[in-house]
Amino acid sequence: MNPRLGVNENDLEIAAAIDRYAAAEIAPQAAKLDEQAQSATCHVPGLSTLGVMGMNLPERWDGPGVSPTALVLAIASIARHCAATASMIGAHYLATDSILIGADDSLRALYLPRAARGEILGAFALTEPRAGSNPADMSARAHLDGDQYHLIGVKHFISNAGEADFIVVYAKTDPQAGNRGISAFIVDKNTPGLQISQPEKLMVIRGGHAFEVALDCRVPASQRLGEEGSGFRTAMKVLDNSRLDVAATSLGIAEAALAAAVSWSRQRLIGGQPLADKQGIQWMLADMKLRLEAAWALTLQATHKRSLGEPFSMESAMAKLYASEAVGFITDRALQIHGGYGYTRDMPLERYARDARILRIYEGSSEIQRTIIARRMLAA
């Protein structure tokens, strides 16, 4: 792991420890999780001993209190070995970030310490069948009835939902108020009227399960995060954080693919000469390295602003956009360098290439990131 601008020794030591663990405990199971679509939640106990399940949380709520930079490096380290595990962790962070940002201390105390210790797993339910990129289009409703809210609606592609102990659900409490009418609620897994489908049959990150969630249930008003109508603001702040997680996942996969390509180009002989001696291959590797380092620079720039407590919506959008597109380029070129061998399941290249594809879609598609960036520029 090479030191980069803005990364200190402590950050590197944390990431290196997690990388060693992931190499020993997670990597050997990565192909099996993908091949058999087994849930990456099997790694929660081990990751919890390292503090990873609460790495996004401050010490007050039993998190390790690490820097945002250490968090990004850690996710990249895990994704190098298993993107599904990184995805599962990211979905958990979406839920706990929602509580950290939007809830009061009573709810934080009830959920965050246990989530940080890996005793309970979270999920984040924002997306709907007809409301993905624009949450204002959501049709899920939450109607106050006495001291309870009646939640009705359907959420789609909700990572972790089937294995989660709680789901943070976003629904409209005032359908006429647009974004300002969205509120957030914690729904526990045993709540009557909560129905969760079988895992979706996914092309990529098969160990990071996604589900459809049907809601016709009642939750106490005390389970609402913050004031009515504050849900959209909470979700947008959570997604700023999550886009850095996606960028980090992209970087981890890209690093693994580039390392494999370099190794293969040295070993593979064509006409008695290593592929690495061919100028065409050298230029491909150079282009891959260039995009990787540019993606790291954008991601660390956004992470630095987050560390300072400054707004970083545009920076996180740029990092997520560039890194997710860069990993697509890098995995494609790495597979090309491997030739027919890269296309087989005996090597991890085809998994890297498949896993990379979803990163341009979830937590806001590439098109949405471009819209965020342009609007920020035009508003300046």
CA-CA distance, 368 to 362, in Å (whole number)?
A: 10
Q: Which residues on neighbouring strands pair with residue 19, listed in sequence order?
A: none
The most distant pair of C-alpha atoms in the chain lies apart, rounded to whole Å, by 79
Q: What does the buried/exposed string (b/e) look like for 95-119 if buried means 16 or more CB atoms within 10 Å of the residue's CB?
A: bbbbbbbbbeeebbebbbbbbbebe
Q: List, by residue number, the catalytic residues.
A: 363
**DSSP labels, 15-33:** HHHHHHHIIIIIHHHHHHH
- Do residues 320 and 246 lie in contact, with contact meaning Cβ atoms separated by under 8 Å? yes
**DSSP labels, 190-227:** T-TTEEE-PPP--SS-TTS-EEEEEEEEEEEGGGB-SS
Cα Rg for the chain, rounded, in angstroms? 21
CA-CA distance, 2 to 234, in Å (whole number)?
A: 35
Pick from 115, 122, 116, 119: nearest CA to 188? 122
Pick from 136, 305, 360: nearest CA to 233? 136
- Do residues 172 and 179 lie in contact, with contact meaning Cβ atoms separated by under 8 Å? no
